[in-house]
Amino acid sequence: VQLQASGGGLVQAGGSLRLSCAASLRTFSNYDMGWFRQTPGKEREFVGGITSEGELYYADSVKGRFTISRDNPKKTVYLRMNSLKPEDTAAYYCAAAWWTRIKNIDSLREEDEYEYWGQGTQVTVSS
């Protein structure tokens, strides 16, 4: 199983980026998907997630600026990031969890529930 994250790069504050995460999961539509980020020396942080049924959940720090969506036929989940801030600079990771592992929407933020992780894509926001 592979999760391939892409779309990172260097952007000025206030700009936008869209990250993609392509999954080789046979039954992608049955997986809840999450986005996390990490900066050097810090713990990995939940960004947001989308359930297999399309329910969305975001961290407060990105609510209103970031949008997650999924395209099941393409087996891809997206993270649209608007109004980027320097503090959004991080390596961004996507992750997948079989839908029965996530018991409620809040559980999307629990790293231990995810079975598969992508390799990360770097986002750098300059001030």
How confident is the model at residue 1, as a pLDDT? 77
CB 91 within 8 A of CB 19: no
How confident is the model at residue 103, as a pLDDT? 87
Residue type, 71: D
Q: How many CB atoms lie within 10 A of CB 4?
A: 14
SS3 41: coil
Report the Cα 122 to chain-centroid distance in Å.
12
How confident is the model at residue 51, as a pLDDT? 97
CA distances from 84 to 13, 50, 89, 97 (A): 5, 21, 9, 27
How confident is the model at residue 35, as a pLDDT? 98
What CA–CA distance (Å, rounded) separates 21 from 79? 8
What CA–CA distance (Å, rounded) separates 120 from 19? 10
How confident is the model at residue 61, as a pLDDT? 97
Q: Is 100 exposed, middle or buried (0-12, 13-18, 19+ CB in 10 A)?
A: exposed
CB 95 within 8 A of CB 47: no
Q: What is the pLDDT along the chain (127 residues), one digit of tens a residue?
A: 799 999 999 999 999 999 999 999 999 999 999 999 999 999 999 999 999 999 999 999 999 999 999 999 999 999 999 999 999 999 999 999 999 888 888 999 999 999 999 999 999 999 9
